[in-house]
């Protein structure tokens, strides 16, 4: 097994580094007793990846090109501080790890070093009067939401990865859930944060309803993907569980009809918690049991909250939507199947290469961006299909969630085909005036578009990174930092 290898390290560098890493591992194994540090092969291989789809192909080929030197499981802030302190001294890379459900290689230990799995830090506390929940970063997403629901509250963050992901991962990637149009993304929910930054300092930004104490440092860590520090805790906004839930669905003749309807609805101030518009292909894929929807453009919607408000919102929706109303059944079907993830398991081992690409664009560019991205993906040799649904909405614009799948043509391997599809899709997004990521983040897959998207802003980000993490130990390589 190649220790700590991933494309970039040469043999001599590796050897030099190995002795330093060994020293840090020795130090940490004294602190982290009770099996909370491992250098066992099964553990190292298990933490060599997250859910970056191309990695699934490598795993099936028995390739693990990014094996860490050790994995640790801290249980307290002191443990985390010790880890950062020792790694800083030894200049050993650290990779924070939540549920490993990130899809862009954000938690891949590219340069060897130590993976820090936060899942044993999972305490939580409910502050009912302040409508806040205080949660350690390793807490499982479902655990948190289920706990709140039982007590009559919701945080409203329901990503499709609710079951495998963690609270720290949500903040780390700037995640958002299926109910985001009402409840917002994790950045809207986060009110306070606790982070350990190099060389081992604890930064506590306590929760306030609002604060005007300089630039918002809490937000600075949202979407930082472990490159600035290890998030140990967050305080999040919660809501009383909704009094009323209204389920609506429509079949429209065109994507444009449905998208324009939502634009008008949002302009009037209605905010249905869930809105999903499926293009024709995805309508066929998800609603094949509904003859009267098959081949059309399906929209499912959930409006929830205070009864008076919910009724008013549904009135606006009914007044504005262009399409045939199809009742609650398609929404129930969506609710029942929304966590059923089977395709990767069935098709990847057969050599099918797939990914999802989520991007955002203002209303004025929405139709063009959709056409351009699907139009860029479809002609690529080997692509079996390219499709999209619109999954998150704002008064200013829309998030399109594209899916492509294909089998590499002769003379091209899975990776070559995969990267070609990404190149074409990203080019189309940039040319259509969109942003290259809406919620999955950057990781290792998207880093090469950071400069193009942020321009001088990226240079500033790099400077900040150098100041915060002088020795470059925090998730090195992620986002190109």
8 Å CB contact between 235 and 134: yes
Stretch that binds other proteins, among 22-30, 146-154, 192-200, 206-214 (CB under 8 A): 146-154
> Strand 132-136's sheet: what is its strand order?
124-127, 132-136, 230-237, 190-197, 201-205
118 phi/psi in degrees, rounded to 5:
-90, 0
Query: By CB under 8 A, is residue 120 in contact with other proteins?
Result: yes
Query: By CB under 8 A, is residue 73 in contact with other proteins?
Result: yes
The residue from 90, 93, 96, 99 that contacts other proteins (CB under 8 A) is 99
Per partner kind, with CB cut-offs from 5 to 8 A, the member of other proteins, ligand FAD, none near residue 342 is: other proteins
The residue from 6, 73, 88, 97 that contacts ligand FAD (CB under 6 A) is 97
The residue from 240, 384, 396, 463 that contacts other proteins (CB under 8 A) is 384
| Cβ 442 to ligand FAD shortest distance, Å | 9
> Of the two residues 166 and 283, which places its CB atom closer to ligand FAD in the complex?
166
> Of the two residues 212 and 350, which places its CB atom closer to other proteins in the complex?
350
| Cβ 438 to ligand FAD shortest distance, Å | 8
Site map 36..55 versus other proteins, x via CB under 8 A: ----xxxx-xxx---x----
Query: By CB under 6 A, is residue 170 in contact with ligand FAD?
Result: yes
Site map 340..369 versus other proteins, x via CB under 8 A: xxx-xxxxxxxxx-----------------
Size of residue set near other proteins by CB under 8 A: 64
Site map 329..358 versus ligand FAD, x via CB under 6 A: ------------x-----------------
Query: By CB under 6 A, is residue 160 in contact with ligand FAD?
Result: yes
Site map 250..289 versus other proteins, x via CB under 8 A: -------------------------------x--xx--xx
The residue from 2, 123, 146, 470 that contacts other proteins (CB under 8 A) is 146
The residue from 28, 32, 56, 425 that contacts other proteins (CB under 8 A) is 56
Residues that bind ligand FAD (CB under 6 A): 50-51, 95-103, 106-107, 118, 137, 159-161, 165-166, 168-170, 172-173, 175-177, 225-226, 230-231, 341, 439-440, 475, 478
């Amino acid at each position: 097994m190649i220790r700590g290898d991933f494309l970039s390290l040469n043999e001599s560098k590796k050897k030099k580094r190995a002795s330093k890493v060994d020293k840090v591992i020795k130090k940490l194994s004294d602190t982290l007793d009770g099996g909370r540090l491992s250098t066992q092969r099964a553990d190292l291989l298990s933490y060599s990846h997250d859910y970056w789809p191309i990695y699934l192909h490598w795993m099936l080929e028995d390739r693990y090109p990014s094996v860490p030197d050790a994995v640790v499981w801290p249980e307290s802030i002191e443990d985390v501080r010790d880890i950062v302190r020792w790694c800083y001294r030894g200049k050993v890379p650290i990779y924070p790890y939540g549920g490993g459900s990130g899809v862009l290689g954000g938690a891949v230990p590219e340069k060897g070093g130590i993976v820090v799995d936060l899942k044993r830090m999972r305490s939580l506390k409910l502050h009912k009067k302040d409508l806040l929940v205080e949660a350690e970063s390793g807490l499982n997403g479902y655990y948190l939401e289920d706990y709140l629901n039982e007590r009559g509250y919701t945080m409203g963050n329901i990503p499709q990865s609710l079951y495998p992901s963690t609270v720290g991962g949500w903040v780390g990637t700037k995640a958002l859930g299926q109910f985001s149009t009402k409840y917002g993304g994790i950045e809207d929910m986060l009110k306070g944060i606790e982070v350990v930054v190099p060389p081992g300092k604890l930064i506590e930004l306590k929760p306030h309803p609002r604060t005007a104490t300089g630039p918002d440092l809490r937000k600075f860590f949202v979407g930082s993907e472990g490159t600035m520090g290890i998030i140990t805790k967050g305080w999040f906004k919660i809501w009383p569980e909704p009094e009323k839930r209204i389920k609506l669905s429509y079949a429209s003749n065109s994507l444009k009809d449905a998208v324009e309807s939502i634009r008008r609805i949002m302009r009037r101030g209605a905010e249905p918690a869930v809105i999903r518009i499926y293009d024709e292909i995805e309508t066929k894929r998800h609603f094949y049991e509904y003859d009267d929807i098959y081949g059309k453009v399906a929209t499912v919607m959930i409006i929830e909250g205070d009864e008076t408000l919910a009724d008013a919102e549904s009135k606006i929706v009914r007044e504005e939507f262009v399409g045939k109303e199809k009742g609650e059944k398609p929404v129930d079907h969506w609710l029942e199947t929304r966590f059923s993830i089977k395709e990767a398991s069935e098709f990847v081992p057969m050599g099918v290469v797939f990914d999802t690409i989520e991007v955002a664009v203002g209303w004025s560019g929405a139709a063009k961006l959709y056409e351009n991205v699907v139009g860029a993906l479809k002609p690529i040799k080997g692509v079996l299909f390219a499709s999209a649904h619109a999954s998150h909405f704002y008064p200013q614009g829309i998030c399109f969630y594209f899916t492509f799948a294909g089998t590499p043509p002769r003379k091209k391997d899975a990776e070559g085909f995969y990267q070609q599809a990404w190149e074409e899709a990203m080019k189309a997004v940039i040319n259509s005036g969109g942003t290259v990521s809406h919620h999955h983040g950057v990781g290792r897959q998207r880093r090469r578009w950071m400069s193009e998207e942020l321009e001088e802003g990226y240079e500033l980000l790099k400077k900040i990174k150098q100041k915060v993490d002088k020795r470059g130990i925090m998730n090195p390589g992620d986002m190109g930092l």
